[in-house]
Amino acid sequence: MSTRTELNTITSSLSEISSRITALVESDGPQMDSDVYSELVAAERTIGALLRRLNRAARNV
């Protein structure tokens, strides 16, 4: 498997995870413990940053 293909696969998987976290935060956020909510929002942001880095890497391969 090529590097670009592998990066695209990883990016796709992380995008799915990000979407699932976003949906969870948006639907259940008001009922969540504030610490859990904060951690999920932080995870969502971290995955977003990781996706941007992986997309840049894939463009440069």
- Alpha-carbon torsion (59, 4, 53, 13), positive or negative: positive
- What is the three-class DSSP state of 13? helix
- CA-nearest of 10, 18, 4, 27 to 47 is 18
The confidence band for 1, taking pLDDT boundaries of 50, 70 and 90, is confident
Size of the chain, expressed as the number of residues it contains: 61
Predicted confidence (pLDDT) per residue in 22-48, tens digit: 999 999 988 999 999 999 999 999 999
Kindly list the domain boundaries of the chain, sorted by start residue. 3-59
Nearest in space to 40 (alpha carbons), one of 20, 19, 25? 25
